[in-house]
Amino acid sequence: MPSATHPAPASAADIEREMLWMAERLQALRAELRKVVVGQKDVIEGVILALCAGGHVLLEGVPGLGKTLLVRTLAQAVHLDFARVQFTPDLMPSDIVGATVLGEGAGGARTFTFQPGPVFTHLLLADEINRATPKTQSALLEAMQERSITVGRQTHKLTAPFCVLATQNPLEMEGTYPLPEAQLDRFLFKLHVPLPSPEELHEIVARTVRLDVAESNPVLSGEDILRIGRFALGCPIAPFVTDFAVRLVHGSHGTLPPAHQYLRSGASPRAVQALVLGARLRALADGRPQASIDDVKALAHPVLRHRLLLNFDAEADGVRTDQVIDQLLAAVDRGTKN
């Protein structure tokens, strides 16, 4: 929404200026992140887009790939508050959201005061979120969706921008609690953190195993993030691009052959919202004033891979979610060209 500080662009020149500013800021942000984080270009791009879109990100990767480092560096670069929570099976909801504790006031009177939990931050790193119990996981649901915490009878608003970056280890399934579909759906993107290449490993060693380790400098503020988000919301998207996203999501419910064969459940309408918003941001971040079908295709995997549930046939045939998404994209693309 336009704010008093930054009204909506009124002319084409304003838009071009805003686009230029946005591109420069985001480019600077990328540069700062690359100073610390080696490789992971898609992950960085996805995290930035999700942050600008006001969404949350689920990062999946084996330990030691720099997931925490990325989030911390991001927090430094955008000058936002950062909190990290290590999820364990004994973690309680109050450990996340905070609790009301009995305290003593100035006159010695005892009152209940609310002690905010680590969720009251801008960037929350929920490490190994699948280790916590579902009860604890659900405590994060309200914060992620509503941007507020209700403790007792009081609702506490979270400050914007608020972004949860959760991580989970794809290997260790012992003693874990897979996130339910409802909670997974609240993440804007699910990003796979890949193993670094040998060249990247060399670079990692060169940068980290040394006395002076680089750190990022703040290049954006929270307000800038919100401004970018508002700017992207004003960008019109052609109906045929939206139609592509709609047919992709609708097709995941069985109307397209790959979905019918391999999916137990398709994506929710949040997926369409994520695709459209993400396409806009991606186009603007790329310096283009229009979102395209290519942008939707580029974001299909991060948006859909955690929203599609494979059936037994897919697991029996060894088909992964990304493969099904590729087939869905091909089917929708054929329909578009015909």
Partner 1 sequence: MGPPATRMDRGTAEIPAPRSWEPHRRAAVAPVVALIERSRRRLWAQQAVARLPVPLAWLVGACAAVIVLARVGGLPDGLDAWAFGAGASAAVGLAVYAGWPRAGRLATARRIDEHAGSHDALATALWFAARQSANEPAAPWRAVQALAANALAASVDCGRALPWRAPHGIVKLGLAVGALGAAWGSPLPARAPWSRAMLAYAVAVGLPVGTPSVRVAAAGVDGRELDLLRLDGRLLDDIAAQTPHAPTRRWVEDVRSLVDAVAAGRLDRRSALDALATLEAQRPRDLAQPAQEPTRAQAASSEPGTADAGEAERLQDLALRSAISRAAAAAAAAGPPSAERDELKQAAEARDLAALAKVAERVAGKDLSDGELEKWVRAVEKFADALADRKIPEQFQALADRIRRLQEKRAAEGGLGHNDQERLHQARRELDQLRRDQGDAQAAQRQVERLERQARGAADELRRERSPSAGAGSAARATDRGNQEGGSGAGARGTEDGGGGAGDRSASGGRHAGSGSDRGRAVLQRQMRAAAEEMRREQGDQQSRQAGRMGEARLRDLRDALERMAKRSGTGGDGGAGGDGGAGGDGGAGSDGEEPGKGTRGTAGAGGSVPSRARRFALGKGDLRDKSRMELLREGYGEGDAVARSGAAPPGGKEGTGSGGAGTAGEAGAGSGSGDGPGTGNDGADAKRTKTGQDTHLRGAQGAGPDVKKVFTDVARKGFARQGWREVYGEYSEVAEEMLDKEALPPGRRALVRRYFEQIRPAPPAPL
Nearer to partner 1, 34 or 253 (CB): 253
Is 329 a binding residue for partner 1 by CB under 8 A? The answer is no
Nearer to partner 1, 187 or 262 (CB): 262
Tell me how many residues contact partner 1 (CB under 8 A). Answer: 47
Nearer to partner 1, 30 or 288 (CB): 288
Whole-number Cα distances in Å, 78 to 33, 56, 152, 284:
10, 16, 33, 19
Is 198 a binding residue for partner 1 by CB under 8 A? The answer is no
Nearer to partner 1, 202 or 264 (CB): 264
Window contacting partner 1 (CB under 8 A); options: 3-11, 66-74, 97-105, 185-193 = 3-11
Q: Do residues 241 and 279 lie in contact, with contact meaning Cβ atoms separated by under 8 Å?
A: yes
Handedness of CA 31, 35, 40, 46 (dihedral sign): negative
258: its two tokens: 């790959």
Handedness of CA 58, 62, 68, 70 (dihedral sign): negative
Q: Do residues 268 and 244 lie in contact, with contact meaning Cβ atoms separated by under 8 Å?
A: no
Which residue's structure tokens are 């996340």? 96
Is 318 a binding residue for partner 1 by CB under 8 A? The answer is no
Shortest distance, CB of residue 212 to partner 1, whole angstroms? Answer: 41
The identity of residue 193, as a single letter, is V
Nearer to partner 1, 121 or 183 (CB): 183
Among 188, 310, 329, 332, binds partner 1 (CB under 8 A): 310
Shortest distance, CB of residue 294 to partner 1, whole angstroms? Answer: 5
Shortest distance, CB of residue 292 to partner 1, whole angstroms? Answer: 4
Site string for partner 1, 164-193 (x = CB under 8 A): ---------x-xxxx---------------
The DSSP secondary structure of 47-113, one letter per residue, reads HHHHHHHT--EEEE--TTSSHHHHHHHHHHHTT--EEEEE--TT--THHHHEEEEEEE-TTS-EEEE
Spatial separation of the C-alpha atoms in residues 244 and 218, rounded to whole Å: 37
Interface positions with partner 1 (CB under 8 A):
8-12, 14-16, 19, 133-134, 173, 175-178, 234-236, 238-243, 246, 254-255, 260, 264, 283, 286, 288-295, 309-313, 315, 337
